[in-house]
């Protein structure tokens, strides 16, 4: 074991000092990576886990610090869905789903065409159009609340579904156009050219070649649009009624089984119900969602 390093050592001896040092360094680097990864994993998952665990605790054991509920129960979910207590969670879930689907469909119906034009066509003022859509995506929702509050009061739309769907378009549509445009820019458009040469019209090429190719991009965008709509709170908290309120608003104003007591466990149960479908969806489509999220921001 010589401490003198020579090129011969490096080349031949598997236990030579530089090699060992390099291996040690690599091992330390990999340990550091795993420790950091574990810290990130815990930081992201621990609060979420705490919500799920609390959802299964008896109300009396709300502040139990065990990692597993000592008195597991499903009562909190019953409370969360209890109409008698004024928790319209079932109704709210339907509302969120309905609003989300409507907004997503409208956003995609308009957004697909705009994104296609922005990604594929040359036309005057293209840059201005892009700017307008970008500007719209950064628009603060609170600037819409006041005029819409008054408008919807005047025309008797307060608390209706259309009063919740229409304002949501303001942030979902720019999102769909933006994400789809970046997806469309990366698609193999030579195929469209080929179809055109083979005698397809523009619209035929679009329907027969581009749409099937674009389906994954559209699907990812739909997920992002739906999540954006599902998570909206500010507009809905001002414009919804008890009958049309989405889950975010319902959870923020929850009533528990015990009067004069913050219904932590029931809220955590409701939060779990609201979140689990999203989390499952996100985990299944993880790659696509990451691609969609970053398509807008980085490209």
Query: Scanning residues 39 to 78, which ones bind another protein (CB under 8 A)?
Result: 40-41, 43-45, 47-48, 50-51, 54, 62-63, 65
Residue 158 main-chain phi, psi, to 5 deg: -55, 130
* Residues between 225 and 244 with contacts to another protein, criterion CB under 8 A: 227, 230-231, 233-234, 237-238
CA dihedral 99, 101, 105, 106 (to 10 degrees): 0
Q: Which of 211, 215, 243, 279 binds another protein (CB under 8 A)?
A: 279
Q: How far is the CB of 84 from another protein (least distance, A)?
A: 21
Q: Check residue 278 for interaction with another protein (CB under 8 A).
A: yes
* Residues between 143 and 182 with contacts to another protein, criterion CB under 8 A: 143-151, 166-167, 169-170, 173-174, 177, 182
- 3-state SS track over 215-248: HHHHHHHHHHHHHHHHCCCHHHHHHCCCCCCCHH
Q: Which is nearer to another protein, 2 or 124 (CB)?
A: 124
Query: What is the Cα–Cα distance from 133 to 109, expressed in whole angstroms?
Result: 16
Q: How far is the CB of 287 from another protein (least distance, A)?
A: 9
Q: Which is nearer to another protein, 78 or 145 (CB)?
A: 145
Count other Cβ atoms within 10 Å, centred on residue 49.
12
Q: How far is the CB of 106 from another protein (least distance, A)?
A: 7
Q: Check residue 139 for interaction with another protein (CB under 8 A).
A: yes
The window from 9-17, 68-76, 79-87, 276-284 that contacts another protein (CB under 8 A) reads 276-284
Q: Check residue 5 for interaction with another protein (CB under 8 A).
A: no
CA dihedral 259, 264, 265, 267 (to 10 degrees): 100
Q: Check residue 100 for interaction with another protein (CB under 8 A).
A: no
Identify whether the C-beta of residue 250 lies closer than 8 Å to the C-beta of residue 267: no
* Residues between 114 and 133 with contacts to another protein, criterion CB under 8 A: 114, 116-118, 121-127, 129-133
Query: What is the Cα–Cα distance from 180 to 183, expressed in whole angstroms?
Result: 5
């Amino acid at each position: 074991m010589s401490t003198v390093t020579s090129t011969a050592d490096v080349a031949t001896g598997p236990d030579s000092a530089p090699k060992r040092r390099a291996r040690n360094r690599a091992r330390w680097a990999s340990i550091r990576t795993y420790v950091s990864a574990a810290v990130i994993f815990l930081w992201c998952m621990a609060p979420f886990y705490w919500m799920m665990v609390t959802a299964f605790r008896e109300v009396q054991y709300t502040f139990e610090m065990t990692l597993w509920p000592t008195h597991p129960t499903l009562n909190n979910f019953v409370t969360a869905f209890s109409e008698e207590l004024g928790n319209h969670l079932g109704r709210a879930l339907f509302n969120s789903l309905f609003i989300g689907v409507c907004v997503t469909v409208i956003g995609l119906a308009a957004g697909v065409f705009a994104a296609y034009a922005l990604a594929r066509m040359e036309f005057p003022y293209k840059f201005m159009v892009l700017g307008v859509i970008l500007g719209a995506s950064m628009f603060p929702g609170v600037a819409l609340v006041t005029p819409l509050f008054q408008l919807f009061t005047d025309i008797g739309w307060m608390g209706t579904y259309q009063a919740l769907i229409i304002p949501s378009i303001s942030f979902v549509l720019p999102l769909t156009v933006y994400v789809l445009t970046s997806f469309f820019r990366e698609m193999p458009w030579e195929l469209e050219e080929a179809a055109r040469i083979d005698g397809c019209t523009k619209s035929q090429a679009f329907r027969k070649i581009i749409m099937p190719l674009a389906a994954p991009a559209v699907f990812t965008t739909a997920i992002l649009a739906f999540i954006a709509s599902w998570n909206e709170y500010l507009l809905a908290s001002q414009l919804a009624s008890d009958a049309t309120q989405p889950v975010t608003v319902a959870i923020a104003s929850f009533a528990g089984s015990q009067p004069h007591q913050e219904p932590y466990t029931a809220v955590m149960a409701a939060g779990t119900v609201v979140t689990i479908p999203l989390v499952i969806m996100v985990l299944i489509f993880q790659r696509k969602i990451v691609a969609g999220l970053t398509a807008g921001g980085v490209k």
